[in-house]
């Protein structure tokens, strides 16, 4: 079984990330999908990789919190 992690990402670079992830999916499920479905999967993988790249680019400090901290209402007794 092939696993994917951040160490592997550093070795392969950003350009090949979509291709490698798509190849993993194609190897596992390709015999069940038509070429049209595989094209759609490829588009979705590309979209997910771009979103992940954007999320990874945000630098957070250890003590960063959400903009709004939700505090549930508690009935006073």
Q: In this predicted model, what pLDDT tens digit does every residue of 3-46 receive, in sequence order?
A: 555 555 555 555 689 999 999 999 999 999 999 999 999 999 99
Give tens-digit pLDDT for 9-19.
555 555 689 99
Half-sphere exposure of residue 6: CA atoms within 13 angstroms, side-chain side: 3
* Whole-structure pTM value: 0.62
Buried b or exposed e, range 45-59, using 16+ CB within 10 angstroms: beeebeeeeeeeeee
């Amino acid at each position: 079984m092939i696993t994917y992690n951040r160490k592997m990402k550093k070795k392969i670079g950003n350009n090949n990330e979509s291709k490698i992830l798509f190849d993993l999916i194609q190897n596992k499920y390709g015999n069940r999908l038509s070429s049209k479905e595989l094209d759609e999967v490829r588009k979705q993988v590309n979209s997910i990789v771009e979103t992940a790249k954007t999320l990874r680019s945000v630098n957070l400090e250890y003590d960063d919190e959400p903009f709004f901290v939700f505090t549930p209402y508690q009935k006073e007794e």
